[in-house]
Chain A
Amino acid sequence: MASKYVGLFIFFHIVSLNVMSQTSAFPTPTASTNDKTVYNRQLTEERPIQAQIAEADSVKAAVQSAESKRPTSSKVTESQQDRDGLTLLKSLADGQKTQVKTEVSAKGVQYVPDESDSTKSRRLVEDYDSTKNGMDNDDPETFRQVDGTPLTAEDIVQKIANKIYEEDDRGVFDRIVSKLLKLGLITDSQADTLEYQVAEALQDLIAKNAKNNEIEGAESNDRETKEQQDDQGSDTNTDTWEQPRSRYSNKEGDEADDDVEEEADKDAEVQGGNAGDEGNEVSPEDGLQDLQYFPNFYLLLRSLDSDQDTQERETLITIMKTLIDFVKMMVKYGTITPEEGVSYLENLDAMIAMQTKSKLGKSLGLPDFTAPTGKNLDEDDNTKAEAAKMQREYENLKDSTKEEQQSPETRQPGKSQTYLEAIRKNIEWLKKHNKEEGKDDYDLSKLKDFMDQQVDSYIEKGIIAKDEGDTIKRIYSSL
């Protein structure tokens, strides 16, 4: 559940940022001289069909090998026999020349002209003269590592995650996957797996980069490097990333942004806490200072104060801080106006409240809740009163006219009436049935739970509308 929640966060974050950002704000490392030819190709709009297929092949192969550890042959040869893993990687390597940054060029073709992409990235790189030397290594676009060894599936996932991270554009992923799906190279379930893996990799990236704000040299990478991390790949990537990140913190330091430093401190501490014994050392005062503007989030954290929620709590804090950092940076770089940043964060908080309520089924207990909730409470009371009224009537009359008295009303049913009627009949029958069989009173709470569960699954499948489901649940809870 935690990872799902986190995943939701990530997704929401990425989507929102995607919505808000106009241009990519993060520098892209320059290509090595090897890849000059590749870069030039990128500028042309046309990509040979072969390249497209080959690239899709490699990703598909990567996905499949990630799943099943059994590489399959490329579609081009139209056969699905098992191939030697080495042969596959070799073909990947061969394909490297033709495997243009089709992601970028695809993006370019579809959304933004190629030119602006490449020049944009170049411009940003030139801003950071001092780092030009350092930014030579891993080009996230190619399918080959620095030292020329071909990539594993995990690397490819990592690369995609990096690309999404740096471009701030989840659309990258969607484009690749929809292309693969369209070509029939991967199935829906494989696409789901890929998405999940990329999301995880992205999550790692974000958390790591939050950590890297502060940590300079050696880092004890406490976080479990999940299967995505290839040693070499990760080192290269983190090298690449460390530099831009530390640059940011430098820049921020220039502006004497103490908060960030403090947060970064807390990040490190939080990360350390993740690994083990330090536990909840986060003191509410300083580190979570920024978070005071997120009352709902804060309450959510509060509610997660049991031991097993420690990890969850810390993950949430990290993510939240990262989000705040991003927004700050975007404001700094003029990507968004400060007002937009503020309103985004406010919306985020409101969204947290809503999601918490619906996903975790509990409210955060804020008095100034959004309107719908208030209305719900009112309706709840009404239904309760009505149900109680009906029960009383029934007990008063206790004859068959009761049913007939209902039918004129049910002829023009408010749907809650029809449903109420049906539920009442069920309860009646249960009472009678159990009496006849000499059992004790039916277990109302068990029935309620069962019905709640069923209602939820029906809502999911589109058999019941959400509001109807709520009505039914309310009726049951008022019994």
Chain B
Amino acid sequence: MKLFLTVLLLGAAVASATSAGTDGEISYEYHRYEELRKALVSVWLQCPTITRIYTIGESFEGRELLVLEMSDNPGTHEAGEPEFKYIANMHGNEAVGRELLIYLAQYLCNQYQQGNETVIELIHNTRIHLMPSMNPDGFEKAASQPGEIKDWFVGRSNAQGVDLNRNFPDLDRIIYVNEREGGANNHLLQNMKKAVDENTKLAPETKAVIHWIMDIPFVLSANLHGGDVVANYPYDETRTGSTHEYSASPDDVMFKSLAKAYSIYNPVMSDPQRPPCRKNDDDSSFKEGITNGGAWYSVPGGMQDFNYLSSNCFEITLELSCDKFPDEDTLKTYWEQNRNSLVNYIEQVHRGVKGFVRDFQGNPISNASISVEGIDHDITTAKDGDYWRLLAPGNYKVAASAPGYLTVIKKVAVPYSPATRVDFELESLMERKEEEREELMDWWKMMSETLNF
């Protein structure tokens, strides 16, 4: 027993020299597929009441596209609770994001158990989905490269050679036409399920993510990349087709705010003196660590714009490292640079206006439209009639409408945060007709009594 204790103390001494601070429980190394899976399972085992692991499908080579969900009620959408997601590693050789999400999962679980108020608050009021790798096949290819320096291209695309960030249906084209000629300004992918399932050009990973986006009413999202350091926001594809052109979306103001909310806590990203990653890089479009997608370079078929144009979800793209697949011993540094940004960005989901749209009987109206005067992009209510409309601070007129109902407009003053609660009760056209009829009857009755007929 004594020897045992001695060994323990020695071990403790050794360990304390190598571990650091509150993040002592996270080990900063690259996770291959099996290790990734086990790391997520460990987080789940440690925090089973606030986490759940699920898979949205399989990669081309059959690896599960794993998601770790964190919420006070994992597995269900609570009415009024916004949904958030992080997706990383869609380019298999851009490895930092993948690792960061694993560390984030461990971190949130640890912090929750250690009583961190911010984290507890966040987990209780948000449903957070973390997908460390959208392209596990690509990652394996990139990670298996021999030697120190990983190639700039190997492992980028999926196992079929498809660049997943060019593989999404190009809805930018459609919105640009609609801007000129009139047409819908949201939810542009018609006949969703059929179009997706029958589209042979979509990679299985892309299809799985599209289904995921359709199933869960995501409000805010970010997609993690590597190869540069900046927070990039819509639109990614230029209007005229030129290679560099600022392409503002209707929510340009809000997107800038969201991107800044990330970059501001990342000392490298927000450093105005930061030299470009490579000597000849053109980062003239980067301002305060953020950039418009089209202004940087045009990207058609990307996931970021697809989110915004096919669903209610606002997504930005985060480039987190000059090196796509840096050395393992730099991972800890990357974590420290990004930890606060990652948490703060999740908190951004609690901004703008949110609430419920119901009818006069109190029944929720799903798929009602919420439009904001001056912003040519509407969002819709989810199954419980709940909606979340991200807005920068200001005064707005918000309208709720649904087919067969009378539109209601409300004036709202929106602060930076938290979100302002605005509920709508919509009167159906039938009800209004009924009311008018009754009024008419009352008037007739009164008249006939007075005039005695």
Contacts and interface: CB of A to CB of B under 8 A. Distances in A.
B41 A403 contact: no
B24 A403 contact: yes
Nearest to A436: B115
A410 B27 contact: yes
Main SS of the interface on chain B? helix
Contact of B45 (A393, A406, A419): A419
A405 B8 contact: yes
Nearest to A404: B15
Interface string B67-86: 00000000000000000000
A385 interface: no
Contacts of B8: 393, 397, 401, 405
Contacts of B47: 426
Contacts of A421: 42
Interface residues of B, number: 29
B15 A472 contact: no
Given A407-B24, A458-B53, A401 B12 contact: yes
Contacts of A429: 46, 113
A414 to B, nearest CB: 11
Contacts of B5: 396
A169 B5 CA distance: 66
Contact of A405 (B15, B41, B42): B15
B11 interface: yes
A360 interface: no
A415 B37 CA distance: 11
A404 B24 contact: yes
Contact of A463 (B18, B48, B66): B66
A281 B66 CA distance: 54
B363 interface: no
Interface in B8-67: 8-9, 11-12, 14-16, 18-19, 24-25, 27, 37-38, 41-48, 53-55, 64, 66
Interface residues of A, number: 32
A422 to B, nearest CB: 4
Given A426-B47, A461-B54, A464-B41, A401 B66 contact: no
Contacts of B43: 422
A426 B42 contact: no
Contact of A426 (B11, B48, B66): B48
Central interface residue in B5, B11, B47, by most chain A CB within 10 Å: B11
Interface string A448-461: 00110010001001
Contact of A403 (B14, B25, B44): B25
A423 B15 contact: no
A406 B19 CA distance: 11
B16 A401 contact: yes
Contacts of B12: 401, 404-405
B41 A468 contact: yes
Contacts of A454: 48
A447 B47 CA distance: 12
Contact of B38 (A403, A418, A451): A418
B25 A462 contact: no
Interface string A381-410: 000000000000100110001011111101
Contacts of A70: none
B64 A462 contact: yes
Given A404-B19, A418-B42, A429-B113, A463 B11 contact: no
A468 B41 CA distance: 10
Contacts of A422: 41-46
A410 to B, nearest CB: 7
Contacts of B27: 407, 410-411
A426 B45 CA distance: 7
Contacts of A97: none
Nearest to B12: A401
A421 B106 CA distance: 13
A425 interface: yes
A479 to B, nearest CB: 13
B15 A408 contact: yes
A266 B8 CA distance: 68
Contacts of A464: 37, 41
B280 to A, nearest CB: 41
A401 B19 contact: no
Interface in A412-455: 415, 418-419, 421-423, 425-426, 429, 447, 450-451, 454
A401 B9 contact: yes
Nearest to A406: B15
Contacts of B54: 461, 463
A259 B341 CA distance: 78
B398 to A, nearest CB: 40
Interface of B: 5, 8-9, 11-12, 14-16, 18-19, 24-25, 27, 37-38, 41-48, 53-55, 64, 66, 113
23 contacts: A397-B8, A401-B8, A401-B12, A403-B25, A404-B11, A404-B12, A404-B15, A405-B15, A408-B11, A411-B27, A415-B38, A418-B38, A419-B38, A422-B41, A422-B44, A422-B45, A429-B46, A462-B55, A462-B64, A463-B55, A463-B64, A464-B41, A472-B45
Given A429-B46, A461-B55, A463-B54, 10 more contacts: A401-B8, A401-B12, A401-B16, A404-B11, A404-B12, A408-B11, A426-B45, A426-B48, A458-B53, A463-B64
